[in-house]
Amino acid sequence: MKKNILKIIIIAACFTFVLVISLVQLKKAPEERNPNEENSSEGKSEEADVSEEHAEPEEVTEEIELVNNPDLRILITSSDFSNDIHEKVKVTSDEAFKLLGEDGTLYAEYNAWEIIDLDDFGLKEGENLIFESQSKMSVLSLSRAQGTPEYYGKLQIYKEDGGYSIINIVPLEKYLLTVVPSEMLSTYPLEALKAQAICARSYAYHYVVNSSGLLHDAHMNDSTDFQVYNNIQETDTTNRAVQETEGMILTEAGIPVPTYFFSTSCGFTTNETVWKEYFGGMEIEPGETPKVAYQAGSNEEHREIRFESVTVAEPQAVETMSTGMSVGILYTADALVQEQNFRAYITSDAWDFLEAEEQWYRWSYHGSIDSAVIGERLAARYAVRPDLILTLDETDENYVNQPIETIGTVTNIEVVKRLPGGVADELKIETTQNSYLVIGEYNIRYVLSDGVSEIIRNDGTAVTVSSLLPSAYFIIEPETESPEGIKEIYLIGGGYGHGVGMSQNGARQAALRGMDCEDILELFYKGLELRKIK
């Protein structure tokens, strides 16, 4: 009996010891998140876009109580938007301003236009100071398209290894005053600007309730990694768009939605699977539904487009219909995953589509193919996303992760997979040495751009797009071949940007045709609820 009791005591003690150790290890385990892989952006000197490659937050799935006009924490990047760390920071204000500690303790007061150099404080790494003004704070050591940027709210400045980081603590509605003009031209119709304001507010609120994983708990940074902030000064028209939509956001099941937007569509948009981080580079599991594709057509139907201007290569993929005096075509975004259908569509003028007069609605590109440059670009993207740049394993005929070295001479390039709307999703590049699979629209646009050739736009004007093709909505015409391999490539394409969410020029055209901001949002985000936060 005593032996049995002793055994029970020993077993209980061992169980307690294991439980304590497990709890300690659990407490010490770091919080997991996906770090930013790369600060990459598409140029916005002419058209606005959003980045495809920022960290995806852990989604909130239960309805939450939303607060009107919350404070945002915006990480201010360097003058070229490429770095989170500033070597020097100098601040001032056009009114008297204060220096506060992190707990709100007043340290000092300064006169208007007094210039404060952070180097003078001798901060140690990790320490921070907060500057606050009843007016705006200027960061004299920083440059934006508007010149020296000025910020509402507070500037919290941290000492980092090698410099400083800057967090702008700003109310959401004040933040929007310089997001909207930075993302959409202030000359656009008011209803389009109001749609942009609601999109920008919804997008920002998404990161209020979902962590972005940025430095010092910032909700977003000020670059195209998220939304461009304070690059262009506010205007009366854009301010009105923000004020007239105050508190209005798009939600799904009560949760703020990251309402993506881009410059111009080719007539169709696509869904979030275009960004492979959403699904880990894998195909969607059976039963899993991504965001649906919406089309920027002139018809009131949002899931399908009726038009007369396209000759269909595969009639069985679509449906003919009567449109009064003539026969029209019912064409869906899903039909455009077929190469022959997308080819028929993109080579048509599609004159009765909403954006048919826009510069980027259609474009062509005649570029050079330098095998060495293609190899360098494949290697550069492999370094960022090795799961999306694959090499054929000839032993079992599967594409695998393998570092890119010399690739030989390019002998063939073809699109082998498209997503709804026709966007290229997989590109095969065959060479004298091997075969390579490029996955994802961003990677495809990067690898095929030679950096010097001109894009001929819809209106006949020519521009050079250095690092990326305008979009991945294109077909490849037969290349010029030689004994040394392919030397040139000819593309016929349409649209500018990734193609997810609202086309900004589609919103402009819709507004010019009399649609209000709610109609515009319904066109691009059908099924979402527009609500006003009290």
For residue 480, what are the contacts with CB-CB under 8 A and spacing of at least 6?
486, 487, 488
Q: Which helix (H) or strand (E) holds 520?
A: helix 517-524
Q: Which residues pair with 138 in a beta bridge?
A: 92, 150
Give helix 190-209 / helix 172-183 axis angle, nearest 10°. 130
Is residue 221 within 8 A of residue 84, CB to CB? The reply is yes
Q: Is 131 helix (H, G, I), strand (E, B) or coil?
A: strand
Query: For residue 349, what pLDDT is reported?
Result: 77
- Which ranges of 127-269 does DSSP label H, i.e. alpha helix? 172-183, 190-209, 236-244
Query: Two tokens at 511?
Result: 């507004």
DSSP characters over 278-312:
GGTTSPPPTT---PPP----SSS-SS-EEESS---
Domain segments of the chain as ranges: 71-260, 268-291+332-495
What is the CA 179 to chain-centroid distance, rounded?
Answer: 15
Q: What pTM does this model have?
A: 0.81
pLDDT, one tens digit per residue, over 297-328 is: 333 333 344 444 454 433 333 333 333 333 34
Query: b/e per residue, 439-457, with b = 16+ CB within 10 A?
Result: bbbbbbbbbbbbeeeebeb
Query: Two tokens at 256?
Result: 């703020």
pLDDT, one tens digit per residue, over 453-462 is: 999 999 999 9
Query: For residue 29, what pLDDT is reported?
Result: 31
CA atoms of 134 and 86, how far apart (whole Å): 25
- Size of the chain in residues: 534
Query: Two tokens at 235?
Result: 């205007």
Query: For residue 446, what pLDDT is reported?
Result: 97
Closest CA to 200 of 240, 271, 259, 252: 259
What is the spatial order of strands in the sheet that 462-464 belongs to?
Answer: 462-464, 454-457, 363-368, 488-493, 474-477
Query: For residue 480, what pLDDT is reported?
Result: 63
Is residue 342 within 8 A of residue 418, CB to CB? The reply is yes
DSSP characters over 47-109:
S----S-SPPPPPP-S-----SS-EEEEEE--TTS--S-BS--EEEESS-EEEE-TT--EEEE
CA atoms of 108 and 91, how far apart (whole Å): 14
Query: For residue 61, what pLDDT is reported?
Result: 46
Q: Are strands 481-482 and 389-393 parallel, antiparallel or unpaired?
A: unpaired
Query: For residue 455, what pLDDT is reported?
Result: 96
Q: Which residues of the chain, if any, have pLDDT below 50? A: 1-58, 61, 279-282, 284, 287-309, 311-329
